[in-house]
Structures are given as C-alpha cells and as structure tokens.
C-alpha cells in the first residue's frame, strides 16, 4: 500500500492519499454517583433502578455538581499534560429525544474544564505526539431500546446523567494503527489515574471518528465526515479504512465530499450517511442558568497533582533506566497499570531479567490461552517471584520450572511445595551425578568407545541418557562437566 513501512497511504492511479483522523472519545468517569445527582452508576443494574428525580427531569429539580467528577476530569487533564482551566462553564445542549429527559444535555461548550494537552504514542518506527484539543465534562443520555417490542420503544434512564469526559484530539492521527495506539494509550493513562475503567464492552469508552483524506504533501485538510459512536478499536479501524477509501473513490471520480455525520454498520462493514450538514441539529447552546461557572483554585489543582501516580511514560523511562529493560519490554509491561503493578510486585524479591522473560513469555501466553486478565492470573506475583528464585538459585532447571509453572496455573500453589511434593528438585550433588554417569557409560560401553575414537557428536546422546535416567532432574551444567571428564 505504501513505500514507507509505517506510512499509511491510499494509492489510486498515480495519486497517493493521506488519511487525516481526529477522535472525540467519550470516557465514562469512574464515580459512584452521577455528574449532577446522587444516583448510583453501576453497570448492568435492572432498568430504571438508578434514576433520581433530577435524572428523570422532574419539575423543579436542579442539578448540583459532583465534586468527585470534577476532580476526576482535572486528574485526567493532568495525565494528558494539559492546561487546566480554573474557570469553566456548563452549557445546555438542547435537543429532543425520548432518552434525554431534560430535553437538553448539560455539557461544556465554550469554556471546557481542560484545554490543550498531548499524548505520546509508541509506534514501531518511533514516538509520535498527538495533540489534545480539549477535555470537557458532560452528562450521558439514557438508553432507548427499540427491539423489545414491535411498536414501542423502551427507555432505560440508568445511564441518564452519568458523567462523561469528552476528550477531543487534534487531527493528528494518520492511520488505523495510530488510532489503535492512541485509544490504547488514552485508556492506559486513565486506568493508571483511576478516572475511567476503559471498558469498551460496557460502553465506558466510545468514540466519534472524524475522517478526511488529502493528496500526499497537501497542507489543506479535506472535507471531513464524522462517524458516530463507534465502540471498539477494531470497528474504528474498519470504519476508517472503509471511509477513507470511499472518500478517495469520490475524489478520483471527480466528485466532492459532503460534510456529514455517518454511521458505521458493523455487519456490512460500511459507513452510511446519517445526516448532512444542512440537517445538522441546531443545539442552541447557552450557559446553564441552574449552574454557576465552575471555579477551581490553584490549591485545588495542586492537591490533585500530588495524587497523580507515576504514569506509563514515566514508568517506562524508569523501567528502562533502572532495570535495563528494552523499550519493547518496558512498553509491554507499562501498557496496563495492572501488568506493571504485577511486574513490580514480582521483582520486589526476584531477578528482573528472569521476571521480565517469564511474565512477557510464559505468563502472558498462559493467560492468553485461558482468556484471562492479569488481575485474574491464577499465579500470584508472590508465587511467581518464588518460582524465579528457585531457578535463579539452581534448585530447579528452567525446564522443570515450566512443569512447575503449569501446575501453578491450575491454582495458586507455592512452587517450593510443588517441587518438594513431586521431588522435582534438581540433582546438583557431584557425587550422586558421578554414580549416575558411571552407570550410563557402563551401560553404553560401545558408544563410549566410538566417542573416544572421535565421534564427538555422541556427547549429546550421553547427556540425554543421563537426563533421562535422572528423570530430568540432573543439573545440566554439572552433567556436562562430569561427562567431559569421564569420557
């Protein structure tokens, strides 16, 4: 598709097109209660059981800002290295829909709580900086359920009023892979901060994707289309690919692109026009007169700064500098807060290099096979640490360790106990090994003679025999040494 390995270009005839992508990510704020009411926010509750009079917009009900959600938004802003606006304003975005009880969504339009920031992506050919335009707080709508009844639509207001952060990127993304990396990085930062659980299946993270194309080298942006409410990275990538190609085809065909809102049909893998610019809603934004401007002090922000944990970029740097990990290894280990916590727990009492290899290698493979998250790992960090120490001090060989590891995966057993119970301890007593080796040489006199006459390849045969007779427990290094002497 393109000359440069990392460059994503669409070729048509003699033309090469670059794809320009900007994302509006909607991230649900991790909070026990909603943005302007005290209702609970648990996912999967019975319909309409987490709805207050405020959420259902009863007459005379008034919104009261949830300070915790404000803190979460500011923390996220700090994590995005963004400017925190000490004064922000809540506006009403007016439109009618059955699952929007107030007839307006409280959002932030002109004065968001967080201004410009940035996110660093680790791409195969190096780092890339993606600009953040803004982050604002807003209410989620309820849910309309159209498929429970042929005539009626059901409305569930549990989600109505839940706090969302809308994080708007600059149009800095250039490929589906960058979108993938961006979403993952954003998710990672918010999970480190504890401000959004990033659960895309539960809708905690969704995005509107703005796509345009332009001839390579052009400075002007093309006309963009907005693809609404895409809820998985895979679908985002598919939608971008489809949409970019659709736009290129139109241009190549001499047609113009209409600025419009489109929907991604996941079954047909295509985007479809939802409404044109002319039909776009006039949301009649104006400052919500029920709420005063939100003003936060320097102290308030400084206090939150002091609560910010080490974030992935800083952690990665530390892992590389302090533990001599490769950038690749460090990236993998910091990508998720749970993984990095696990890693740091394991290396508290064991060798870093071995721990890195075992976590990235055996553990990830085993978890993957069982479809488990690191938090669900049957092997605790403490026990993996013990296993690594057993290898390090020569109690067991790497090979035996794999057997022990498999048994640990069945349930979080102490590796020391497994080794003892199953008698898997490595035989490292030279005398015992000599006896063993003498017997093997005795039993294979003819081969020993051949070896001595120059058939050195037979050395491997003897090692194998010794290991077999020892039940795999003989210390391979010592076996080599003694065999060399004896033969």
Partner 1 sequence: MSDITKQSLSQLVENIKSKKLSSSEVTKAFVERSEKSKELNTYITEDYANALNKAKKFDEKPNLDLKLPGIPMAVKDLFCTKDIRTTAGSKILNNFIPTYESTVTQNIWNEGAILMGKLNCDEFAMGSSNETSFFGNVQNPINKNLVPGGSSGGSSSAVAAQLTPITIGTDTGGSIRQPASFTGTVGLKPTYGSCSRYGIVAFASSLDQAGPMAQNVKDCALLQEVISTYDEKDSTSIDFKRNEYSKELTKKIKGKKIGIPKEYRVDGMPKEIEDLWKKGIEYAKDCGAEIIDISLPHTNYALPTYYIVAPAEASSNLARYDGVKYGFRAEGENLIDMYEKTRSEGFGAEVQRRIMIGTYVLSSGYYDAYYLKAQKVRKLIKNDFDQAYKKVDAILTPSTPSSAFKIGEKTNDPVSMYLNDIFTVPVNLAGLPGISIPAGHDAKGYPLGLQIIGKAFDEQNILNIAYAMEEKINFKNNITDWWIK
- Residues in contact with partner 1 by CB under 8 A are 53, 56-65, 92, 94, 96-98, 101-104, 153, 155, 282, 284-286, 289-292
Q: Which is nearer to partner 1, 92 or 315 (CB)?
A: 92
Q: Which is nearer to partner 1, 35 or 409 (CB)?
A: 35
Smallest distance from partner 1 to CB 46, Å: 18
Rounded Cα gap, residues 34 and 163, in angstroms = 6
* The total number of residues written for the chain in this structure: 487
Q: Read out DSSP for 347-373?
A: TTSS-HHHHHHHIIIIIHHHHHHHT--
Rounded Cα gap, residues 59 and 346, in angstroms = 56
Output the CA angle 113-186-93, nearest 5 degrees. 40
At residue 258, the 3 state secondary structure works out as coil
Q: Which is nearer to partner 1, 59 or 126 (CB)?
A: 59
| Parallel/antiparallel/unpaired status of strands 163-169 and 126-139 | antiparallel
- Name residues whose C-beta falls within 8 Å of residue 56's C-beta, 6 or more positions apart in sequence: 101, 157, 160
From residue 110, how far is each of 77, 89, 288, 397 by CA, in Å?
17, 7, 12, 64
Smallest distance from partner 1 to CB 128, Å: 36
Smallest distance from partner 1 to CB 60, Å: 4
CB atoms under 10 Å from CB of 446, counted, come to 7
CB atoms under 10 Å from CB of 409, counted, come to 19
Q: Which is nearer to partner 1, 91 or 243 (CB)?
A: 91
Smallest distance from partner 1 to CB 70, Å: 13
Rounded Cα gap, residues 292 and 424, in angstroms = 70
Decide if 115 contacts 327 (C-beta within 8 A). no
Q: Which is nearer to partner 1, 143 or 318 (CB)?
A: 143
Smallest distance from partner 1 to CB 63, Å: 7
Smallest distance from partner 1 to CB 282, Å: 5
Output the CA angle 126-128-26, nearest 5 degrees. 135
At residue 440, the 3 state secondary structure works out as helix
Smallest distance from partner 1 to CB 142, Å: 10
Smallest distance from partner 1 to CB 117, Å: 28
Q: Which is nearer to partner 1, 67 or 314 (CB)?
A: 67
- The closest alpha carbon to 80, from 315, 338, 320, 308, belongs to 308
Smallest distance from partner 1 to CB 161, Å: 13
- The closest alpha carbon to 378, from 344, 409, 401, belongs to 409
Rounded Cα gap, residues 89 and 79, in angstroms = 22
Q: Which is nearer to partner 1, 94 or 331 (CB)?
A: 94
Rounded Cα gap, residues 141 and 134, in angstroms = 21
Q: Which is nearer to partner 1, 89 or 474 (CB)?
A: 89
Q: Which is nearer to partner 1, 45 or 62 (CB)?
A: 62
């Amino acid at each position: 598709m393109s000359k440069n390995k990392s460059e994503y270009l669409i070729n048509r005839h003699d033309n090469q097109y670059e794809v320009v992508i900007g994302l509006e990510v909607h991230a649900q704020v991790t909070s026990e209660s909603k943005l302007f009411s005290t209702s609970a926010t648990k996912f999967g509750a019975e319909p309409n059981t987490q709805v207050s009079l405020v959420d259902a917009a009863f007459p005379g009900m008034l919104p009261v800002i949830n300070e915790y959600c404000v803190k979460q938004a500011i923390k996220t802003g700090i994590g995005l290295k963004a400017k925190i606006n000490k004064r922000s304003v809540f506006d009403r975005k007016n439109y009618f829909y059955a699952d929007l009880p107030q007839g307006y969504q409280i959002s932030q339009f002109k004065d968001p709580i967080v201004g410009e920031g940035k996110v660093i992506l680790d791409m195969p050919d190096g780092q890339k900086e993606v600009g953040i335009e803004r982050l604002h707080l807003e209410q989620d709508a309820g849910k309309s359920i159209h498929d429970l009844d042929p005539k009626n639509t059901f409305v569930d207001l549990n989600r109505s009023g839940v706090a969302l952060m809308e994080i708007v990127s600059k149009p800095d993304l250039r490929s589906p892979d960058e979108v993938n990396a961006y979403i993952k990085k954003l998710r990672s930062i918010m999970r480190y901060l504890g401000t959004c659980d990033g659960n895309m299946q539960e809708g905690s993270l969704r995005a509107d994707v703005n796509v345009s194309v332009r001839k390579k080298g052009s400075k002007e942006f093309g006309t963009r289309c907005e693809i609404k409410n895409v809820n998985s990275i895979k679908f985002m990538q598919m939608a971008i690919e489809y949409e970019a190609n659709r736009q290129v085809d139109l241009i190549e065909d001499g047609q113009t692109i209409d600025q419009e809102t489109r929907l991604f049909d996941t079954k047909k893998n295509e985007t479809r026009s939802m409404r044109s610019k002319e039909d776009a809603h006039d949301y009649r934004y104006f400052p919500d007169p029920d709420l005063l401007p939100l003003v936060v002090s320097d102290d308030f922000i400084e206090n939150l700064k002091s609560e910010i944990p080490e974030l992935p970029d800083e952690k990665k740097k530390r892992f590389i500098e302090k533990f001599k990990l490769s950038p690749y290894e460090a990236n993998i280990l910091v990508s998720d807060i749970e993984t990095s916590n696990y890693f740091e727990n394991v290396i508290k009492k064991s060798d870093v290099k071995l721990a890195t290899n075992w976590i990235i290698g055996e553990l990830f493979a085993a978890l993957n096979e069982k479809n488990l998250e690191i938090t669900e790992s049957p092997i605790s960090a403490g026990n993996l640490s013990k296993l690594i120490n057993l290898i390090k001090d020569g109690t067991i060989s790497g090979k035996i360790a794999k057997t022990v590891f498999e048994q640990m995966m069945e349930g979080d057993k102490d590796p020391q106990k497994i080794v003892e119970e199953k008698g898997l301890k490595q035989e490292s007593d030279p005398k015992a090994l000599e006896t063993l080796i003498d017997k093997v040489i005795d039993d294979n006199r003819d081969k020993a003679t051949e070896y001595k006459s120059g058939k050195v390849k037979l050395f491997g045969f003897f090692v194998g025999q010794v290991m077999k007779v020892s039940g795999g427990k003989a210390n391979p290094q010592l076996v080599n040494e003694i065999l060399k002497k004896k033969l």
